[in-house]
């Protein structure tokens, strides 16, 4: 008894850990190093990236009038913001595999912070579109965020950790909808700035905070419970897999492609909603800019609990029903979100639309949390690539949706919103094809023993208590 007690006292971690030093409990109100400190640095850094990316849409009515933007210009700018994120997310996955999430995350934030500040220099539709394209690159920090949480937390709580970290970060989009109009009006009322100058100065603030959080990640974070990613590689004497090997292993795993498609129509639909919803309420129901921003903010701010709820549900379904439970939970929640999106476009009253929007936000964000409750189990050796593929799927879905439904005047906004809901329902169906030999799928039992080895390493550094997942 005494030696065991002495050994316990020598543990360097304040949280209980598994054999890989990953935390088996998730305590978001703590800031203990390294697990919970990494959590808070990860979500705060990504929060600032979301805030920067979505600081432009709430001021679009003002920017539109000042730069004489057409509906086509606005649609193209929205697409550009997502296209930038596609390429950067694809690259961020292998970057995390090779250098670790901390350096990859901070480098991207420091690179893109000056871009959002440069929005103050925009003078034409073309420069406006280019700025939105560049700022969109910062959303690749999402991949580093999820990689970091998977490196710090055990499989038994990784769905919850991923959900809370991404969910709290996604609130940056809602906070931008709420805060940017207030900053704009304060600059006018307190400093007496002209309208054309006030919206430009507003964009200096998100860029500043994005740079500050990047420096905090470098100064106070660490990649793994044991230390830096570089030191870990040296300690185990394992050479780095090449970029091409990591990329090939990920791209040839069909489960990653299905999850990318699914994520394209949960998170992708959320991104599209963030881009158009303030303008939708402003134009359709005649509310003023501040009220439209407050309504739109409810979408992003719901991430406080909805995406974490999806991650927690994934973990609970996993403990109760194994991988089958995680997959059924994902399909069910995202299908309900699609139905609510269809309904949102059909409601003709202001308060009815607000109510349906809130319900839609909860379900679509929970579906995102459920998606990343499955991602960590797809491939251990190419985790970054799978996370990058799935994350890029979210922005590709947003681009496709924006191009098909929200660019030009082919459909009314309300019709486009309903059609987006139908696309969500259809694109969730391929989840039924996901199958793991040792865990099974939605309709089929495992085809081999959960502990048997195979050509692909699916396990998430599984500890003894987490092998329930395979049952």
H-assigned helices in 345-412:
350-374, 383-405
Integer Cα distance of 256 and 365 in angstroms: 19
Q: 344 and 356 in contact (C-beta within 8 Å)?
A: yes
pTM for the structure as a whole: 0.77
Could you list the pLDDT tens digit for every one of the 471 residues in the chain?
444 444 444 567 888 998 888 999 999 989 888 999 999 999 999 999 999 988 998 898 899 989 998 888 888 888 888 788 888 888 888 888 888 899 999 999 999 999 999 999 999 999 999 999 999 899 899 899 999 998 999 988 888 998 899 889 988 988 898 899 999 999 999 888 998 899 999 999 999 999 999 999 999 999 888 876 666 665 555 555 566 777 788 888 999 999 999 999 999 999 889 878 888 898 888 888 778 888 888 887 888 899 899 999 998 998 899 999 999 999 999 999 999 999 999 999 999 999 999 999 999 999 999 998 999 889 877 777 888 889 889 888 988 998 888 876 678 889 999 999 999 999 999 999 999 988 899 998 887 765 544 444 444 433 333 344 433
Question: What pLDDT score does 10 carry?
Answer: 56
Integer Cα distance of 43 and 34 in angstroms: 14
Query: Which sign does the torsion angle of CA 315, 450, 381, 253 carry?
Result: negative
Integer Cα distance of 398 and 82 in angstroms: 7
Domains and CATH numbers, the chain: 32-230 (1.20.1250.20), 253-440 (1.20.1250.20)
- Report residue 427 CA to chain centroid gap: 18
């Amino acid at each position: 008894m005494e030696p065991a007690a002495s050994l316990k006292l020598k543990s360097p971690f304040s949280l209980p850990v598994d054999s890989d030093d990953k935390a088996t409990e998730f305590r978001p109100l703590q800031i203990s190093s390294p697990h919970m400190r990494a959590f808070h640095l990860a979500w705060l850094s990504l929060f600032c990236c979301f805030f920067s990316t979505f600081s432009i849409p709430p001021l679009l009515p003002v920017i539109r009038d000042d730069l004489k933007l057409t509906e086509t210009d606005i649609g193209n700018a929205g697409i550009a913001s997502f296209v930038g994120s596609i390429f950067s997310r694809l690259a961020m996955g292998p970057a995390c595999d090779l250098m670790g999430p901390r350096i990859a995350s901070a480098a991207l934030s420091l690179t893109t912070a000056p871009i959002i500040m440069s929005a103050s220099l925009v003078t034409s539709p073309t420069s406006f579109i280019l700025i939105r394209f560049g700022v969109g690159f910062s959303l690749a920090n999402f991949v580093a965020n999820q990689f970091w949480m998977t490196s710090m937390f055990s499989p038994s709580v990784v769905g919850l950790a991923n959900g809370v970290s991404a969910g709290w970060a996604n609130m940056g989009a809602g906070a931008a909808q709420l805060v940017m109009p207030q900053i704009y009006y304060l600059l006018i009322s307190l400093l007496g700035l002209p309208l054309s100058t006030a919206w430009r100065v507003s964009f200096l603030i998100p860029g500043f905070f994005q740079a500050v959080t990047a420096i905090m990640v470098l100064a106070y974070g660490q990649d793994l419970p044991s230390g830096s990613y570089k030191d870990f590689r040296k300690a185990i004497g394992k050479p780095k897999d090449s970029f091409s090997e990591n990329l090939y292993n990920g791209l040839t795993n069909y489960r990653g492609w299905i999850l990318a498609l699914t994520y394209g129509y949960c998170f992708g639909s959320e991104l599209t909603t963030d881009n158009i919803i303030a303008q939708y309420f402003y134009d359709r129901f005649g509310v003023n800019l501040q009220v439209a921003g407050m309504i739109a903010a409810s979408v992003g701010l719901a991430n406080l609990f909805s995406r974490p709820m999806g991650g927690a549900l994934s973990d609970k379904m996993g403990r109760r029903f194994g991988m089958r439970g995680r997959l059924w939970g994902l399909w069910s929640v995202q299908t309900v979100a699609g139905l609510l999106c269809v309904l949102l476009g059909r409601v003709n009253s202001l308060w009815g639309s607000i109510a349906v929007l809130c319900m839609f936000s909860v379900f679509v964000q929970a579906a995102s949390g459920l998606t990343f409750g499955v991602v960590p189990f797809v491939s251990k050796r190419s985790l970054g690539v799978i996370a990058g593929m799935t994350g890029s799927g979210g922005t590709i879905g947003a681009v496709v949706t924006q191009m098909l439904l929200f660019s030009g005047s082919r459909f009314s906004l309300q019709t486009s919103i309903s059609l987006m809901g139908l696309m969500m329902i259809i694109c969730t169906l391929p989840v039924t094809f996901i199958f793991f030999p040792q865990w099974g799928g939605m309709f089929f039992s495992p085809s081999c023993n959960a502990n048997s080895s195979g050509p692909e390493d699916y396990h998430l550094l599984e500890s003894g208590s987490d092998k329930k997942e395979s049952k």
